[in-house]
Structure 1
Amino acid sequence: MIQKGWLGRDVISILDFTRDDLETLFETAEQMKKMLTEGRVPRLLEGRIIALAFFEPSTRTRLSFETAAKRLGAETIGFAGEEATSLAKGENLADTIRMLDGYADAIVIRHRYEGSALYAAEVAEKPVINAGDGRQHHPTQAMLDLYTVKELFGTIDGLVYGVLGDLRFGRAASSFILALTLYRPRKLYLVSPPLLRARPEVKARLEEAGVAYEEVERLEDVLGELDVLYVTRIQRERFPDPREYEKVRGSYRVTRELLEKAAKPELRVLHPLPRVDEITANVDTTPYAAYFLQARNGVPVRMALLSLILGAEV
């Protein structure tokens, strides 16, 4: 059945959606995952074209959107870097978006500047999906993160979460924290160096939603309480001053030894990836590691998202 509340919708911020919206998305993603497992995915988007406008580097987000579109029978056009577009010749963003709007049925955009996705949505007539803009939003990452938590625990409510690393510049971390305000976590620990604490508007949203949270610097102080540990890399490319990055690089390192010593057996570790050295490779083969499942879930969640927005009947 076509979900009219989703039809033709832009995806700019996770806060544009309600809990009911997300539950519809997760139910659809579950159907997609089942069809993928059984090898019987219908070509729901045959004849459609999805534009992948990636002005910034991406691996998982771009390839999972491309895979999602092609699994459903759609074609994709696009680019992966400004140097491959007429922006390198001086074309402005609005003209690039208008051009894609005339070629495709939906536009997926990633850009280094905050507000780019919202601006693209104002310019385009077709639906625009934010695949990450600057340090602000990455809504589809938050969607697949929540879906993964629900798959692992059967619920998103009532759990104790820790979000670790770059909470100031990391858009995946910010979007995940904001997404939790649509649910009822038991507690949220924001674990970071003082320089990388969550931005004031993110904490204001937590307070407005009544989410109990605490800012801490040491993971070891709270690890034993956590059900979900969401790890993020400290992103060199987001720092306006390289000297500030050098002050905090390597602040955290999640190891198998640390987890086995201090974590609950049922703890699951998430990471939006890519990682550098914040999770050691010896965690990968433990039951704690859920980040590869999380990455794989990008395909069914984005299949569900494209289907709902483009009005395909599942």
Structure 2
Amino acid sequence: MPAQGWRGRDVISILDFTREDLCSLFEAAERMKRLLSEGRLPRLLEGKIVALAFFEPSTRTRLSFEAAAKRLGAETIGFTGEEAVSVAKGENLADTVRMLDGYADVIVIRHRYEGTALYAAEVAEKPVINAGDGKQHHPTQAMLDLFTVKELFGGIDGLVYGVLGDLRFGRAASSFILGLTLFKPEKVYLISPPLLRTRPEVRVRLEEAGIRYEEVDRLEDVLGELDVLYVTRIQKERFPDPREYEKVRGSYRVTRELLEKHAKPGLRVLHPLPRVDEIAFDVDETSYAAYFIQARNGVPVRMALLSLVLGAEV
């Protein structure tokens, strides 16, 4: 898709996009990555301002958006945490969004409540990019995850995927699974404790897309079949009841020994990060580990996305 097809577009859910949309984004991200490796900064957004409205704490997502904007020549404004803005004084979200809409050319928003990004897009005239809201949507994470799979395997279709961990509350996992429905995976294993099973609407989407999937409790039972293992942490902060978290805390741990015993040599392990103890540090130096490649891909993918949304030639 040429840049004009993306210009001014809100990015709320990965399902707002087609396979063709994502392929055009990936092509742009590949060009960005090549330019970065050559030390050439394509200052396509000189004079633009990117607002980073992070009502929740963030490290990788916020910093990679900031790095992406600055490498393209844009300036950034914003905040992290409600305590830093007038919301703490009682200002409503709509007024905050309108303020940012007047200051910036695009608004990148992260919030704990699902639907916030969509609401912001309805209020703002400038494009809004969802940097994670609630339990289901984190579209730019899914974009960089799928880009990483394409880079590692040469494509996304025909692979066997395992998504491990918090599939109930984890928005990165949900967005990744939803993103896979735009492609043709061989099969998707949903691996989690019973309390953290994938939500019904995500399973319905898999079924509508005709994708074979299976819910399992134990990683060891399916590890040998996987091409991609997508690991997520169990997020204590997402649990409404701390007692539920205690029931599932430490439910799984991916170690070098486990991978060498059960996994294919070509398996690649992804993780949106941060990790706690679900992937042992001894995995880092193996050929299985691809999560740091994945994290680095956040900058070129978000560079490509900002350029396309703001109508710059990539």
Would the TM-score normalized by the shorter structure come out above 0.5?
yes
Partner amino acid, structure 1, of 2:123: V
Question: In the alignment, which residue of structure 2 is the partner of 1:201?
Answer: 201
Match of 1:130, SS state, is strand
Using the TM superposition, give the Cα deviation of residue 2 of structure 1 relative to its aligned residue in structure 2, in angstroms.
Answer: 5.0
Partner amino acid, structure 2, of 1:69: A
Where does the alignment leave 5 or more consecutive residues of structure 1 unmatched? none
- How does the TM-score come out when normalised to structure 1? 0.99
Question: In the alignment, which residue of structure 1 is the partner of 2:7?
Answer: 7
Partner amino acid, structure 2, of 1:152: L
Q: Is the 8 A contact 1:2 1:312 kept in 2?
A: no
Distance, in Å, in 1 between the alignment partners of 2:206 and 2:42 is 40
Moved more, 2-11 or 162-171: 2-11
Count the aligned residue pairs: 314
Query: What pairs up with 1:16-27 in 2 under 5 angstroms?
Result: 16-27=16-27
Distance, in Å, in 1 between the alignment partners of 2:40 and 2:296 is 18
Distance, in Å, in 2 between the alignment partners of 1:35 and 1:41 is 7
Q: In the TM superposition, what whole-angstrom CA distance separates every residue of 1:227-268 from its partner, at most 9, and x where no partner exists?
A: 000000000000000000000000000000000000000000
Question: In the alignment, which residue of structure 2 is the partner of 1:139?
Answer: 139
Sequence identity (%): 85
Q: In the TM superposition, what whole-angstrom CA distance separates every residue of 1:130-173 from its partner, at most 9, and x where no partner exists?
A: 00001120000000000000000001000000000000000000
- How does the TM-score come out when normalised to structure 2? 0.99
Q: In the TM superposition, what whole-angstrom CA distance separates every residue of 1:209-228 from its partner, at most 9, and x where no partner exists?
A: 00000000000000000000
Match of 2:121, SS state, is helix
The answer to whether the aligner puts 1:164 opposite 2:164 as a matched pair is: yes
Partner amino acid, structure 1, of 2:211: V
Question: In the alignment, which residue of structure 2 is the partner of 1:258?
Answer: 258
Using the TM superposition, give the Cα deviation of residue 105 of structure 1 relative to its aligned residue in structure 2, in angstroms.
Answer: 0.1
Q: Is the 8 A contact 1:2 1:311 kept in 2?
A: no
Question: In the alignment, which residue of structure 1 is the partner of 2:241?
Answer: 241
Q: In the TM superposition, what whole-angstrom CA distance separates every residue of 1:93-119 from its partner, at most 9, and x where no partner exists?
A: 000000000000000000000000000
Question: In the alignment, which residue of structure 2 is the partner of 1:177?
Answer: 177
Question: In the alignment, which residue of structure 1 is the partner of 2:31?
Answer: 31
The answer to whether the aligner puts 1:220 opposite 2:230 as a matched pair is: no
Partner amino acid, structure 2, of 1:187: K
Match of 2:214, SS state, is strand
Question: In the alignment, which residue of structure 1 is the partner of 2:83?
Answer: 83
Match of 1:4, SS state, is helix
Distance, in Å, in 2 between the alignment partners of 1:7 and 1:293 is 28
Q: Is the 8 A contact 1:68 1:300 kept in 2?
A: yes
Where does the alignment leave 5 or more consecutive residues of structure 2 unmatched? none
The answer to whether the aligner puts 1:281 opposite 2:281 as a matched pair is: yes
Partner amino acid, structure 2, of 1:134: G
Question: In the alignment, which residue of structure 2 is the partner of 1:267?
Answer: 267
Distance, in Å, in 2 between the alignment partners of 1:248 and 1:134 is 20
Distance, in Å, in 2 between the alignment partners of 1:150 and 1:5 is 23
Distance, in Å, in 2 between the alignment partners of 1:2 and 1:250 is 46
Distance, in Å, in 2 between the alignment partners of 1:136 and 1:165 is 14
The answer to whether the aligner puts 1:153 opposite 2:153 as a matched pair is: yes
Partner amino acid, structure 2, of 1:268: R
Question: In the alignment, which residue of structure 1 is the partner of 2:129?
Answer: 129
Distance, in Å, in 2 between the alignment partners of 1:3 and 1:19 is 16
RMSD: 0.7
Match of 1:189, SS state, is strand
Partner amino acid, structure 2, of 1:192: S
Question: In the alignment, which residue of structure 2 is the partner of 1:105?
Answer: 105
Question: In the alignment, which residue of structure 1 is the partner of 2:59?
Answer: 59
Distance, in Å, in 2 between the alignment partners of 1:42 and 1:119 is 32
The answer to whether the aligner puts 1:47 opposite 2:47 as a matched pair is: yes
Distance, in Å, in 1 between the alignment partners of 2:180 and 2:218 is 22
Distance, in Å, in 2 between the alignment partners of 1:273 and 1:244 is 22
Q: Is the 8 A contact 1:164 1:229 kept in 2?
A: yes
Distance, in Å, in 2 between the alignment partners of 1:158 and 1:2 is 27
